[in-house]
A and B are shown apart, each in its own frame.
Chain A
Amino acid sequence: MTVRCTSFWFIICAFAICPAGVNAQAKLDVRLPVKDKSVRFAVIGDSGTGEKDQYQIAKEMEAYRGAVNFDFVITLGDNIYGGHEPRDFAQKFEIPYKPLLAAGVKFYASLGNHDDPKLEPLYKPFNMNGERYYTFKKDFAQFFALDSNYMDAPQLSWLEQTLRSSKAPWKICFFHHPLYNEGKMHGPDLDLRNQLLPLLKAYGVNVVFSGHEHAYERLKPVNNIYYFVQGDSGKLARHDFHQSHELAASYDRARTFMVVEIAGDTLYFQTISENGETVDSGALPRAAAAVKAASSAQ
């Protein structure tokens, strides 16, 4: 009985001393340096289920936005699973991310195989300007959102021209289907790799983010390009990865999202689970080959 009372009063005191917001901030394990004038963003993939797990990830994202102050999110496709009625846009996007949207955080979407390639580009909160593929700049980083469902000649030609003319020190591509992937469910898209990789290599792309596989993977750099697979911000497949030396880190026990910071020649990343646990983090230098490509473009 005494123990019960003590515990009860301890909890009451804890609530009285620490307001909820401070409590939430205090438990965060922020591993980004949060430097002045850095580019900070979050990454989600395969998120649009409308189920409670997506909402849980969204809550964690909101908590980290408070600490890291990222001002945009890139999505790796499958933004809206299932139907595309107006209520689906609400349940699978507008409601879960309402606090982020209200805070002015912009979402830049790419298309997955469960997305509607016409409706979603027209939906202004996805910032696609009616296009399946597009580019945008944030200070010294340029982002290239691609439609890997339909990599046709006009898109490849657009990508080549846009990459060639880019003077950005950091070139970041994001699209749904991974070029490298050690997950057992889907694996890499080999034909996409045939067509896309020569351009990424030739024009000094630094980082590629993809989804599709419902797990988290960080691969060892290939041709000086860093590859992340992040297809578990809503869907999760608890499955095994192939035993592979290509994997630098992997996680499939809970849903995740990433926060990323680019400062100078370093990209810092942190991958956080729906339980608030940091499952991967680190700092990646801009590879020498990409530095050379960026200098020759200038």
Chain B
Amino acid sequence: MRYLISAPVLLAALTGFTQTSAGSNDARVVAEFEQRAKQYLDWRENTLGKAPSPANSPEKIVAARRELARKVRVARAGANQGEVFTPDIAGYFHHEIVATFNGRYGKQIRSSLRHSEPTEMQLQINQSYPEKVALQSTPPTLLLNLPELPKGLEYRILGRELVLRDTDANIVVDYIPNALPDMK
């Protein structure tokens, strides 16, 4: 009887310990991701340049961004998929995305995604996001459940991929393949 009473208490204690452990692990992974994102942005801004300034001339703005993109491509020529979204970080994102899609607003998120003119294309690190292709909108509830990014970086959805995009240079910094559930 003594053991029967103790078992639930023990189970609760273990569950609590596991949750705390998972929570602290998540916090560590998020901190690592935020640090990697910040490192990329600091490096790009300090080494290669910041966003172009507002101008009346589209020639000036377009040329400035293309030059920034060219510099990023040269400087990161050897970059690979998974350098920012390491396996640990990608695992965390997968978990958060699934939880968001299965959560309170999952149905509305799916509806929004279906209506957002989804596009599909083959992704490559350091590629410029094609200027002629519409940028699929990212559901707000999903954005609110992902780690916040510094200004200059953003998340984008492309098919099922979650893209980390350098907005100033219009460059794909990294992506998680099949990050989103299959909508078909």
CB <8 Å contact, A192 and B54: no
Once bound together, how far apart are the Cα atoms of A119 and B54, in whole Å?
Answer: 9
Q: In this complex, which of A118, A123, A195 has the most chain B Cβ atoms within 10 angstroms of its Cβ?
A: A118
Q: A83-B132, A119-B62, A191-B105 in contact; A130/B54 too (CB < 8 A)?
A: yes
CB <8 Å contact, A153 and B62: no
Interface of B is mostly: loop
A89-119 interface (Cβ within 8 A of B): 89-90, 113-119
Closest approach, in angstroms, between the C-beta of B181 and any C-beta of chain A?
15
Closest approach, in angstroms, between the C-beta of A47 and any C-beta of chain B?
15
Q: A119-B58, A191-B111 in contact; A113/B136 too (CB < 8 A)?
A: yes
Once bound together, how far apart are the Cα atoms of A150 and B116, in whole Å?
Answer: 12
Closest approach, in angstroms, between the C-beta of B183 and any C-beta of chain A?
14
Q: Which A residues are CB-close (under 8 A) to B132?
A: 82-83
Partner of A151 from B56, B59, B61, B143 at Cβ < 8 Å? B143
**Number of interface residues, chain A, beta carbon within 8 A:** 41
CB <8 Å contact, A191 and B112: yes
Q: A113-B137, A148-B137, A149-B135 in contact; A195/B144 too (CB < 8 A)?
A: yes
CB <8 Å contact, A84 and B62: yes
Whether B115 sits at the interface, judged by CB under 8 Å, is yes
Closest approach, in angstroms, between the C-beta of B8 and any C-beta of chain A?
38
Closest approach, in angstroms, between the C-beta of A3 and any C-beta of chain B?
54
Closest approach, in angstroms, between the C-beta of A48 and any C-beta of chain B?
12
**Number of interface residues, chain B, beta carbon within 8 A:** 40
Q: Which A residues are CB-close (under 8 A) to B112?
A: 189-192
Once bound together, how far apart are the Cα atoms of A192 and B117, in whole Å?
Answer: 15
CB <8 Å contact, B143 and A119: no
Whether A28 sits at the interface, judged by CB under 8 Å, is no
Whether B138 sits at the interface, judged by CB under 8 Å, is yes
Q: Which B residues are CB-close (under 8 A) to A82?
A: 132
Whether B6 sits at the interface, judged by CB under 8 Å, is no
Whether A276 sits at the interface, judged by CB under 8 Å, is no
B135-176 interface bits toward A, Cβ cutoff 8 Å, 1 = contact, 0 = none: 111111111100010010010000000000001101000000
A-B pairs, 7 with minimum CB distance: A190-B108, A151-B140, A89-B58, A191-B112, A195-B140, A86-B58, A149-B137
Interface set of A (CB-CB < 8 Å, partner B): 82-86, 88-90, 113-119, 121-125, 129-130, 148-154, 156, 177, 186-187, 189-196
Given contacts A190-B108, A192-B112, A192-B139, 19 further A-B contacts (CB under 8 A): A84-B62, A113-B117, A113-B136, A117-B135, A123-B55, A124-B54, A130-B53, A151-B140, A152-B143, A152-B144, A152-B148, A153-B143, A156-B144, A190-B111, A191-B105, A191-B111, A191-B139, A192-B137, A195-B141
